[in-house]
Amino acid sequence: MNPTEIAENASAPPLLIRGVSEPRLEVHKFRTGAVVGASFLALVLQAFVPAHVWKGDVLADLLELPLLVTLYFGLSRRNPSRGLLLGMVIGMAQDGLSGAPIGLFGIAKTLVGYLASTIGARLDVEHPVSRMVLAFAFFHLHHLVYVFTRRWLLAQVAPLMSVRVLVASLVAGLLAWPLFALLDKLRKDEN
Amino acid sequence: MFEIATRRRPYVLLAVALVFQILLLAVQVKRPGNVRLIRVWAVELLTPAERVGSWALDSLSGAWTGYIGLFRANRENQRLRAEVGELALENSKLESQAAEAQRLAALLQFRDTHPDAPLLAARVIGGDAGAARAFYLDRGERDGVQQNMGVITPQGVVGKVLEVYSNTSQVLLLTDKNGGAGALLANSRTQGAAKGTGGPTLELDYVSNEQDVAVGERVLTSGMDHIFPKDLPLGIITEARPGNPFKQIQVRPAARLDRLEEVLILLSRQQWDWAQPAADAAAANAGGRSAAPNVSGGTPPPAVAPKTSPSAQSAAHVNPVQPVKKDQP
């Protein structure tokens, strides 16, 4: 099913016509407080689980829930401005909770939010496989920006690619399937 | 315009968000030396501009200063060139005065070594425009100068007074074709006659071929011409060869006739012990500047009053061409 068919077959009226030549894709709306609540919960879990549940565990570094939440809302809402602002807020909050300099995750998630919104407006992001691939790819993009920011601004050495990073990206991809499906429940009922 | 801004809003927003967070990071991050990154950036951002500004100001200031300096240097150069010219002129004057002082010192020394000689110092004031080898002195009839008086320098005989005017007199050089003096060879005491040739040398006549004459031998005045006292230096033999009927002898004048500036006029032909003091004077004159006494430059040559008795001086002035016997006052 291509994006045009999705738009044409949609029973709900919320369609955004972006131009004659552009494919018409759904712009999903969410329940009140869904974006804020989901983001807050992701931040809390990101700070709580590694510190208290997986204390000292190798899994502690593999979880990146704020990234997945940013990615999901960016892909779903398909608004670059909102996407980058949400990414910025979530990233800066993650910086604050993790003790890193404010802006380190913020920059990376700002770019992720912007690009996810831009891509979401052009591609079918509803399919589970595409969501997993996008989560995997965006994890590496996020890590790339994060490492370059650390190297450039903080003058810190950070590995660009490692087994741990690869595993974390796979985890992010696998986690995106159930998480995105769960977040789909927060969408407003269009009927 | 508004439409373009709206369409580009995500890009602007993205740029603002990224810049904001980068600056936020720069404020928090500290580089080695505990300097915040934002400060490092600010310095690195502003320093080139400040450097360019400073360079521009320095260049402008340097160019202006250089221009002013060049202008001043040019004026200073012109002033110094003028000063160098003036100093060179002054130096030339001083050298001339020093040379004159030396010559005057030699005259004074000569005069001191011949206290009994009635001598009158005179300055050469001009040459003769005609063919004759003659020149003019600044002494004339008012100074007691008369025709046929001898003219000498400490080095030797110069010539004789040809014409006398009230304040000047004309001197005929020994080397003129009409010039000459009674001569004798210093070694053999053989007498002859030195005659001018019109050139730089003299001819010594009336010396027989049998007479031994050596090149370099001194020739003195014989006193037989009733103009010059006996034994005044006349010259040096430069060439001597047999002739018919007499030897042909060339004599180079002892006095530098081409460099005369101050001379002494013999106011009397009285004889005195001339040879030894004259030789001493010549030696002293050759001794150089150190022998020069304190004689101020630029002043007219001193009139050397004869230290003879008034009667003798008067007699010598009245009839200078008359022969005067040796030891006659």
Of residues B14, B21, B31, nearest to A103 (C-beta) = B21
Segment B224-248, tens digit of pLDDT: 888 888 888 999 999 999 988 899 9
- Residues A75, A77, A82, CA angle at the centre, nearest 5°? 100
Which tokens in the block code for residue B289? 């500047």
Segment B171-180, tens digit of pLDDT: 999 999 889 9
Residue to substitute from B16, B19, B25, interface A, most A β-carbons within 10 A: B25
Segment A81-108, tens digit of pLDDT: 999 999 999 999 999 888 888 999 999 9
pLDDT of residue A88: 95
Q: Residue A11 above 80 pLDDT?
A: no
Handedness of CA B288, B292, B297, B303 (dihedral sign): negative
Average pLDDT, chain B: 79
pLDDT of residue A59: 62
pLDDT of residue B192: 92
Q: Residue A1 above 90 pLDDT?
A: no
What's the first-to-final CA gap in chain A, in angstroms? 22
Residues 83-102 of A with CB under 8 A from B: 84-85, 88, 91-92, 101-102
Segment A53-70, tens digit of pLDDT: 666 666 666 788 999 999
Report the distance separating Cα B96 and Cα B74, nearest Å: 32
Looking at chain B, the number of H-run helices and the number of E-run strands are: 5, 14
ipTM above 0.90, yes or no: no
Confidence of residue A174 (pLDDT cuts 50, 70, 90): very high
Q: Residue B262 above 70 pLDDT?
A: yes
β-strand B169-173 against B156-164: which pairing, if any? antiparallel
Mean pLDDT of A35-55: 83
Report the distance separating Cα B306 and Cα B120, nearest Å: 8
Mean pLDDT of A126-155: 91
User: Quick check: A104 contacting B, CB < 8 Å?
Assistant: yes
Report the distance separating Cα A121 and Cα A117, nearest Å: 6
CB contact under 8 A, A84 and B13: yes
pLDDT of residue A20: 40
Cα dist. B167→B123, B144, B146 in Å? 12, 10, 11
Angle between helix A80-98 and A104-120 (nearest 10): 150
SS3 call for B323 = coil
Residues from chain B contacting residue A80 (CB–CB below 8 Å): 10, 13-14
Report the distance separating Cα B263 and Cα B119, nearest Å: 10
Provide the CA A53 distance to its chain's centre, in angstroms. Answer: 23
Backbone angles phi, psi at B192, to 5 degrees: -160, -160
Q: Residue A164 above 70 pLDDT?
A: yes
Report the distance separating Cα B301 and Cα B188, nearest Å: 37
Residues from chain B contacting residue A151 (CB–CB below 8 Å): none
E strand residue ranges, B41-175: 119-127, 134-137, 150-153, 156-164, 169-173
Residues from chain B contacting residue A107 (CB–CB below 8 Å): 18, 21-22, 25
CB contact under 8 A, A155 and B31: yes
Reading phi first (left if > 0) and then psi (alpha if -120 to 50, else beta), residue A185 is in alpha
Residues from chain A contacting residue B16 (CB–CB below 8 Å): none
Residue A106 contacts residue A92 (beta carbons within 8 Å)? yes
